[in-house]
Structure 1
């Protein structure tokens, strides 16, 4: 579609969908498309068969792939440049993940082609450091143009430069929509975190870090960073908390910031219950929530994170409201608990997938981004 035609279409529609396309040379394209869209279906995308391919709708955009004699043609659509960039990266990364043989080279055309910086990237500065509990540190970051964090997802990718780098270098988008990273000695390490609270007037938000020594990238950075240090941020990612009448929010320390922010943002008449697992009573923190919501703290009392059934048992103890009540159930937990909770909600209770969001925030013994074999057991 030409630019003038697209602009005219935008004037006639309530929302204008930006679009991009790419032709990818691969062998056995039908099999590759099947594998990619089976994966998308497992992540709650709405899959629609099309001629010689499939399309998938996510809450932030759409993607299609069609087989051609010598490869695949794929396209993405989204409402704005940030969502479009995210769709490009997601489509490209999953196609490359499942392709057999050499990584294909391709370039996106259409909207957003040729950009030199990711539209959701911000360079931010450490403003304040406060210890909320013995093992939780809150770091305030300042930056510009943060309004999207008030209306979209709660999460972000934090890019932490190597120690001793005076001028950090950040990834830039390649022609395939994926990051081109600096050299290894300057490459930032990336971890996923949650915006605990946001102040658009001051241009800051808070990010909470669980402190456990030098055993993780994020904890090490949080222990050593100082006011004035610079980090990179890409976001927001994830889904905003949906509207509902009754809420079930479940998680350990990794999900605590998101649960706390969700509780504090619920309407005054909201009903529900939240379970938060922490090490012991000293790790509890003040959270403001309405009278119709109950918060229960669960203590491991010496057990290692990810080794108890506290959250799974708590979920199974809850009586979900009868059909007709709008329900939102969310769990952010270790991988084993995630599998058990997902199986319980979907297979035993038969809850609608649209009303539940079980997520594996971490996996015992595995660093974020590290590849592990699929166990395919549910």
Structure 2
């Protein structure tokens, strides 16, 4: 029998019915939701939640197959509920499995093994840490946590409401999302390919350019969607998506077909892509134009015919926010492409930093 871990919380609210409505609506975009008047069932890739109303109390029962997944379900439910509650500030405290420690089950402290340049704009950082098996499943992405320069790292802990408690003030961390390009569980190592570019307010790039063996960084994850099984694939992105596309291609079976469209600065930024699948790779060069300004990725996707985007094609795209909005709208409104057969995400947004790139996603 598979392991099932569970947690429970009961929250007193002024309008529990409205809260149930909001939670079911927000999760319906990326999860399976079943709903009737006084209860809702949410099934996510990480675990399940059963929400029930009794009087002015909303009860949350969650379950998952491991501590990381259970912590994720608790966290996203708590984050959404407390965000919707606003100034009401209800009390939320979980009981059950995975709550004996304040350590985050999805956090690891990592040490730099090596750093090298792959192309003029991409640098590979190899990190080593303990117990990385969970990072090989459940998503392509991690968050790297950078401590202030010159200070000893203070890492986040688990709050009773299920959300991480982040260090503040002089110990505040900077977080950025990256893709695990490769993972070696036996050696306890991951490779993170990071786009590097000049600028004063570029904490990830600055860290990557200065990374040296022995350096310490925090890592949380994994997360982020991967591709579903399909006969045909369309993978689209700029250089920020190149590590994810490279990793996805290496997982595809020989009987699959994949069209890959990648926008990079110049031929010097090309990388070899390997896959057992039949590949059609199209490199698009900006030739010095600033990244995220050409609109060419969205335009190319809109011009693809049904031999590339057919009903059985899974479309995956990671790019700048403007292209993301246009590509996703085109797939949903013009192509009527099934939502279960595409995943389009904003990896970054011109003029915004970190998670603010996805604030309107």
Give the direction of change, closer, same or farther, for the CA distance of 1:217–1:281 in structure 2 (3 Å limit): same
Q: Quick one: distance in 2 between partners of 1:368 and 1:53?
A: 35
Q: Quick one: distance in 1 between partners of 2:291 and 2:358?
A: 20
Alignment of 1:47-196 (within 5 A): 47-165=33-151, 167-196=152-181
Residue aligning to 2:335: 349
Instruction: Say whether residues 1:38 and 2:60 are aligned partners.
Output: no
Number of residue pairs matched by the alignment: 360
Instruction: Report the 3-state secondary structure (helix = DSSP H, G, I; strand = E; otherwise coil) of the residue aligned with 1:34.
Output: helix
Residue aligning to 2:204: 218
Residue aligning to 1:9: none
Alignment of 1:300-319 (within 5 A): 300-319=286-305
Residue aligning to 1:359: 345
Instruction: Report the 3-state secondary structure (helix = DSSP H, G, I; strand = E; otherwise coil) of the residue aligned with 2:115.
Output: strand
Q: Which residue, out of 13, 21, 28, partners 1:26?
A: 13
Instruction: Show structure 1 runs of 5+ residues with no match.
Output: 1-13
User: What displacement does 1:356 show?
Assistant: 0.7
Residue aligning to 1:246: 232
Give the direction of change, closer, same or farther, for the CA distance of 1:224–1:103 in structure 2 (3 Å limit): farther
Contact 1:30 1:53 in 2 (8 A): no
Residue aligning to 1:10: none
Residue aligning to 1:339: 325
Which whole-Å deviations, capped at 9, do the CAs of 1:68-95 have from their partners, x for residues lacking one? 4334222212111110000000100111
Instruction: Say whether residues 1:274 and 2:256 are aligned partners.
Output: no
Q: Quick one: distance in 2 between partners of 1:220 and 1:308?
A: 25
User: What displacement does 1:192 show?
Assistant: 0.8
Residue aligning to 1:199: 184
Contact 1:51 1:66 in 2 (8 A): no
Contact 2:157 2:165 in 1 (8 A): yes
Instruction: Report the 3-state secondary structure (helix = DSSP H, G, I; strand = E; otherwise coil) of the residue aligned with 2:14.
Output: coil
Residue aligning to 2:2: 15
User: What displacement does 1:123 show?
Assistant: 0.8
Give the direction of change, closer, same or farther, for the CA distance of 1:291–1:78 in structure 2 (3 Å limit): closer
Residue aligning to 1:5: none
Give the direction of change, closer, same or farther, for the CA distance of 1:49–1:352 in structure 2 (3 Å limit): same
Does 136-145 or 323-332 show the bigger shift? Answer: 323-332
Q: Quick one: distance in 2 between partners of 1:343 and 1:323?
A: 14
Instruction: Report the 3-state secondary structure (helix = DSSP H, G, I; strand = E; otherwise coil) of the residue aligned with 1:357.
Output: strand
Give the direction of change, closer, same or farther, for the CA distance of 1:111–1:321 in structure 2 (3 Å limit): farther
Does 225-234 or 105-114 show the bigger shift? Answer: 105-114
Instruction: Show structure 2 runs of 5+ residues with no match.
Output: none
TM-score, normalising length: structure 2: 0.93
Give the direction of change, closer, same or farther, for the CA distance of 1:69–1:371 in structure 2 (3 Å limit): farther
Q: Quick one: distance in 1 between partners of 2:232 and 2:248?
A: 13
Q: Quick one: distance in 2 between partners of 1:105 and 1:162?
A: 32
User: What displacement does 1:236 show?
Assistant: 1.2
Which whole-Å deviations, capped at 9, do the CAs of 1:327-361 have from their partners, x for residues lacking one? 32101112221121112212221222111111111
Instruction: Say whether residues 1:234 and 2:220 are aligned partners.
Output: yes
Q: Quick one: distance in 2 between partners of 1:371 and 1:341?
A: 16
Q: Quick one: distance in 1 between partners of 2:38 and 2:148?
A: 46
Instruction: Report the 3-state secondary structure (helix = DSSP H, G, I; strand = E; otherwise coil) of the residue aligned with 2:254.
Output: coil
